[in-house]
Structure 1
Amino acid sequence: MINARKLAIAATTGALAFGFAAEAFAAEVTWNVSLWGNRRAFTENVEYLAERVAKESNGRFEIKLHYGASLSKARENLDGISIGAFEMAQICASYHADKNPTLTVLELPFLGVSDLKTEARVSMKLYEQDVVKKDLARWNAIAFMPTPMPQYNFLGKGEAPTSIKDFDGMRVRALGGIGELMRAVGAVPTTVTAAETYQAMESGTVQAASFAPHAHLAFKTVEVGNWWTANMNPGTVQCPVVMNSDAYAALPDDLKKILDESVQPAVDHYIANYETVYDRWWPTLKKQEITQVTFSDAELAALKEKAAPIWKAWVDKMEAQGIPGQELLDKMQAEIKG
């Protein structure tokens, strides 16, 4: 009886000690992040950010990642941020262009961004602009970390195009300025979300989709398509990580500093990791017997000429809303040139 009693007391004491220890090491601050799809190259910046913040804060600041649109649909992440449903999210400007018009400047076609480092640097400069801060403040949001992506080439199903003219009448998944560019050559752009694209291509709702390589792999368009535009390189999509401004303001100064100082290392990790995507990309194209379509220099030059009217239309639309569109575009072009 005595031994049993001692064991019971010891067990109770141990349980209490464990409970106190767990409480002692519990996070002081927990942020939830709304993400769609599964973990992939696109989310490696957020993955690294969460890991680094936890480490640098000794577990006091936890960033919990929620995949599969479990907190919010991709098109509704900005709305969720605005009401404080979660503290952080990835968004893509084209999913709700009217809600964040200033971000779409970097979605214009043929801006001349040559690599991910440039895309990241220019994106950070964009987020620093007062007009962008004001734009996102309407949603209680702050854009604080880019998700730089390479050129959005098309992967399609059916007869492969042999010239740009072959896109005439083709229904394509193309966002933002890329969509406007394709409209200019006679294609019919749609804004199907990434998660919906495989089904859209398989069913024939769209015949081709513009994605970065990681997304063609992650959302399995490579399993349904049979051709890919290897050198069109029309542009990309702007997908920042945003945070709720009230949540950020409420952070203790030391945790705010840790978060701020973790952004660049997270972006560096993302860019380094993205290089590994191509280790899978090229073998996958070969395995799936996907035809790589290349266009002549003359055709690409003619396609690029269609960008200027799209830029002008974007500027006019911004100016009509009281946004200094030309000034913002000029700043971004200067930043791209370095």
Structure 2
Amino acid sequence: MNKMIGAGVTAALSFAFAGEALAVEWNVSVWGKRRAFTEHVEKLAELVAEKTNGEFTMNVSYGGLSNNKENLDGISIGAFEMAQFCAGYHPDKNRVITVLELPFLGVSDLEEELAVSTAVYNHPAAAEEMAQWNAKLLMTSPMPQYNLVGTGEPRDELADFEGMRVRATGGLGEAFKAVGAVPTSVTATEAYQAMESGVVDTVSFAQHAHLSFGTINQADWWTANLNPGTVNCPVVVNIDAYEGLSDEHREALDSSVPEALDHYLANYGELLKRWDSVLEEKGVEKVMISDSVKEEFKAQAADPAREAWIEEMEAQGLPGQELYDLVQSTLEEHRATN
């Protein structure tokens, strides 16, 4: 009888440990607070847990694991399994995807931004570069065109940008620099304080970030249609962690990406619909930039930036022209099929 009880206990313990071994828990590093920008990450975690009956879970940490500029470094050393970052934080580490941050690419909505980002992420050069950081591009965080909030008199002429201190990263920072502004790349979480203290006069963000990081609360005006470009912020996974998943767990993750992105687009769309009421509620003037000013901005910023970027990439052995052409051809194909 004792032998039978002992065998039963051993079997039960073995089964328990086997069950425990099946459980996978990933840590995910993002920043700020939960907002439209992170909704696809939250939805992904929800879907993966559902599909695996709770065997594969994700703990989404808002700044508790790393700061935003060090998320790619954290992925490279395996400090966590998934992270979000923006290309402009360290363009030397993710040169390929900075093509998506070039000014005036012509992207007009979130669906187009998703299409061009996905095309670039799927290019072999992007995968190879990210592999140097032990990172796999999983999905993008499509954002609308950035626009400025500022204090004082609206800056609606190109001459007004001369000497303007603007929070703008990556290609957007270079675009503003081309017309005489002084860009600074303070992080999103530092933008409110930079604006409040007068370190910057204006902040360039997408709508959700102006809300989430409070810059809209400092603003007297917002440019509704300057639309110089946007930033590109991928979600990546540690390659070793990804390859270490069981086939079932990997399938649960991969198959959940499209639905997570659909949720993101729908959620962000609702924010855009109520943006005008947000401006009215906070007493922020909606400034429309004339077509002539936008064309002048584009002429001074877009063409030189594009040519300089292509030349720099080609000099480093990367297919700069091919990547830029890929963005343009993807836009054409997307519009033709929609």
What is the TM-score of this pair, normalised by structure 2? Answer: 0.91
Whether 1:101 aligns to 2:99 is: no
In structure 2, give the amino acid aligned to 1:99. Answer: K
How big is the shift at 1:150? 0.2
How big is the shift at 1:95? 0.4
Alignment of 1:1-338 (within 5 A): 28-67=23-62, 69-306=63-300, 307-338=302-333
- Provide the rounded CA distance (Å) in 2 between the counterparts of 1:99 and 1:138: 9
User: In the superposition, relative to structure 1, how do residues 26 and 272 fare at CA in structure 2: closer, same or farther (>3 Å)?
Assistant: farther
How big is the shift at 1:26? 8.7
In structure 1, give the amino acid aligned to 2:325. Answer: D
Aligned pair count?
Answer: 319
In structure 2, give the amino acid aligned to 1:49. Answer: L
User: In the superposition, relative to structure 1, how do residues 216 and 23 fare at CA in structure 2: closer, same or farther (>3 Å)?
Assistant: farther
- Provide the rounded CA distance (Å) in 1 between the counterparts of 2:296 and 2:129: 34
Query: Any unmatched runs of 5+ in structure 2?
Result: 1-11, 334-338
- Provide the rounded CA distance (Å) in 2 between the counterparts of 1:149 and 1:241: 13
How big is the shift at 1:21? 8.6
Moved more, 32-41 or 322-331: 322-331
- Provide the rounded CA distance (Å) in 2 between the counterparts of 1:221 and 1:259: 35
| CA shift digits 1:254-276 (9 cap, x unpaired) | 11111110000000000000012
- Provide the rounded CA distance (Å) in 1 between the counterparts of 2:86 and 2:59: 20
Point out 4+ residue stretches in structure 1 off by more than 3 angstroms. 20-27
Query: Any unmatched runs of 5+ in structure 1?
Result: 1-16
| CA shift digits 1:151-204 (9 cap, x unpaired) | 100011222113121010010001111111101110001111100000000000
Confirm or deny: 8 A CA contact 1:26 1:60 kept in the other structure.
no
- Provide the rounded CA distance (Å) in 2 between the counterparts of 1:102 and 1:186: 27
Please tell me the root mean square deviation across aligned C-alpha atoms, in Å.
1.7
How big is the shift at 1:247? 0.5
- Provide the rounded CA distance (Å) in 1 between the counterparts of 2:100 and 2:223: 21
- Provide the rounded CA distance (Å) in 2 between the counterparts of 1:319 and 1:294: 37
User: In the superposition, relative to structure 1, how do residues 23 and 227 fare at CA in structure 2: closer, same or farther (>3 Å)?
Assistant: farther
Moved more, 84-93 or 119-128: 119-128
Confirm or deny: 8 A CA contact 1:26 1:59 kept in the other structure.
no
Q: Secondary structure at the match of 1:275?
A: helix
- Provide the rounded CA distance (Å) in 1 between the counterparts of 2:165 and 2:222: 15
Q: Secondary structure at the match of 2:93?
A: coil
- Provide the rounded CA distance (Å) in 2 between the counterparts of 1:191 and 1:81: 22
